[in-house]
């Protein structure tokens, strides 16, 4: 049987083998399961469930009623909006956004925003 403790910032239930940074916020109705790691400045919203062995970077926003599947990865600065479901072993890249109620399949990769380099040669005549 798993043992849980209340996180000091938000009061969410954190399984005792999970590592949640003291600077993270875990809503009182959210759960973080065994082996999960949550970075500084991350917010986990109401009724969200962070499954086992999930790794979440710093400054990530996780909305309400989100499920992160076992072994998934969420990089720094990502945003996962309300009701989203992230499949097992899926990856959400740095600064990527997952829309409300989106389902990300098992093992999928969600990329961050594209950026154009100031000195890009793309589209120029040769």
Q: Is the pLDDT of residue 126 over 80?
A: no
In the chain, domain spans: 4-110
Confidence of residue 65 (pLDDT cuts 50, 70, 90): very high
What single DSSP character describes residue 23? T
R_g of the chain, CA atoms, integer Å: 16
pLDDT tens column, 4-56 = 999 999 999 999 999 999 999 999 999 999 999 999 999 999 999 999 999 99
The CATH architecture one would assign to domain 4-110 is 3 Solenoid (2.160)
Global pTM? 0.89
Sheet holding 79-80, edge to edge: 25-26, 43-44, 61-62, 79-80, 97-98
CA distance 69 to 96: 17
């Amino acid at each position: 049987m798993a043992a849980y403790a209340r996180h000091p910032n938000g009061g969410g239930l954190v399984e005792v083998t999970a590592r949640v940074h003291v600077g993270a916020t875990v809503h009182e109705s959210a759960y973080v399961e065994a082996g999960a790691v949550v970075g500084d400045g991350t917010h986990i919203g109401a009724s969200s469930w962070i499954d086992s062995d999930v790794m979440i970077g710093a400054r990530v926003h996780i909305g309400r009623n989100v499920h992160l599947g076992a072994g998934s990865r969420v990089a720094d600065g990502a945003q996962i909006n309300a009701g989203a479901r992230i499949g097992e072993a899926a990856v959400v890249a740095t600064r990527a956004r997952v829309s409300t109620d989106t389902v990300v399949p098992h093992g999928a990769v969600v990329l961050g925003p594209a950026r154009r380099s100031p000195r890009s040669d793309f589209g120029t005549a040769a």
